[in-house]
Amino acid sequence: MPSPWIPIHDLPSFVDREVTLKGWMYNKRSSGKIHFLQVRDGSGFIQAVMVKGEVPDEQFATAKGLWLEASIILTGRVRSDERAPSGVELSVTGIEVVQNPVEEYPIAKKEHGIDFLLDRRHLWIRSARQKAILTVRERVIWACREYLHNNGFLLVDSPLLTGSIGEGADGLFEVEYFDLGKAYLAQTGQLYAEAAAAAFGKVYCFGPTFRAEKSKTRRHLTEFWMIEPEVAYADHSDNMALQEGLVCAVVDAALAHCRKELELLERDIPALERIKPPFYHITYDEAVAMLQKLGSDIPYGDDFGGDDETLLTNQFDKPVFVECYPKKVKAFYMKQHPEREDLVLCDDLLAPEGYGEIIGGSQREDNLDLLLARIRAEGLPEDSYDWYLDLRRYGSFPHSGFGMGIERVVSWICGLQHIREAIPWPRTIYRLNP
């Protein structure tokens, strides 16, 4: 009977059993009579030891000529080994080469420049580091969905092709849409989430969103994934409480399930363990005063740049809510502050250690006249908002919501230098391939 095909991840339960592995060779050392093959199969990594005399001679010779990333099928016996990271090794009894690469694998073990790696992203994702990051990403997404589902939210996805501008006229990708003129790639699903909140109370949408801004920072992608909860009858402070709960649930899940990955990424784990409620709160006014004291030249009334956010978050060991920005730097749909006409009831949640904005949220303007005035003041095409204004015509209701950028959160939790590693196929102004 052939030995069973087992994923590397499950091998610790197969000690002393004969198994088959199907994967790729990611490294190799040889010492005359022994080959040490480092093998990965997507589920994990293992060392396979091939001793001359324990496999047919021609197989031993074949293994000697293997190049990195040769696809191979191994049979062998699982041995427990305390020195191995997974606690097991494979003693090889047979090897079948599916393909020895047609030429040398381009990504060597040495350091490569970032552009070299991004050009080979389709190969780079095979590395242990990229696997760790994408595993954390999956956990972050899973934790968001679980938290919202368990708290009574209904997933109501929004369209990616839309006729109404979600955030602002700058930064739109346009597409020709048959006889109907221009469509835009969605900057946000929020306007649809607001309609869904009137129908179902607590909702969220989750999908890719697009920004054609020419930002070249370590925080910006042109395509990123955003999770956007929207809650009927929730006000500005309910909104921040939900953000705090969601962020804590996500960090807890990463710590509980991705510790090995965080260690591999050399993340400062105690810094993540500090992420517990309550988070800090400051107003925009206080934030500007604080920044000016720290030496920033930001004038009152401007939005924060990346450097300001870094400066600000370095003052806090936990996330900080910055509340109530000037109306003129925020989107048209935000509710006017009840005591300060120049401000809106919004918040940006900034992650510590210099990471900056991970969430943007607000209470929404529910007054028909004020909202219409904002749409007009921003010069937005009024016609395409007619359906959105219906939400203020038929049973208008106080409501709030926010958007959390998945890649920003993954960058922070993994401690990445740049957001481009937090998504499998990054899209930036310079990159459309692979």
Q: If binding is defined by CB under 5 A, does position 44 make contact with Mg ion?
A: no
Q: If binding is defined by CB under 6 A, does position 408 make contact with ligand 4AD?
A: yes
Q: If binding is defined by CB under 5 A, does position 403 make contact with Mg ion?
A: no
Q: If binding is defined by CB under 6 A, does position 361 make contact with ligand 4AD?
A: yes
Handedness of CA 123, 124, 126, 127 (dihedral sign): positive
Q: If binding is defined by CB under 6 A, does position 403 make contact with ligand 4AD?
A: yes
Q: If binding is defined by CB under 6 A, does position 309 make contact with ligand 4AD?
A: no
Q: If binding is defined by CB under 5 A, does position 405 make contact with Mg ion?
A: no
Q: If binding is defined by CB under 6 A, does position 426 make contact with ligand 4AD?
A: no
Instruction: Report the residue number, 44 or 405, with the smaller CB distance to ligand 4AD.
Output: 405
Q: Of these, 44, 166, 229, 360, which contacts Mg ion (CB under 5 A)?
A: 360
Sheet containing 202-210: order of strands: 154-155, 202-210, 223-232, 399-405, 356-363, 346-351, 320-323, 280-283
Q: If binding is defined by CB under 6 A, does position 243 make contact with ligand 4AD?
A: no
CB of 230 to ligand 4AD, least distance (A): 7
Count of residues interacting with Mg ion (CB under 5 A): 1
Q: If binding is defined by CB under 6 A, does position 220 make contact with ligand 4AD?
A: yes
Instruction: Report the residue number, 79 or 218, with the smaller CB distance to Mg ion.
Output: 218
Q: If binding is defined by CB under 6 A, does position 407 make contact with ligand 4AD?
A: yes
Q: Binding segment for Mg ion among 19-27, 69-77, 172-180, 356-364 (CB under 5 A)? A: 356-364
Contact residues for ligand 4AD, defined by CB under 6 A = 166-167, 188, 190, 211, 220-221, 224, 226, 228, 357-361, 401-405, 407-408
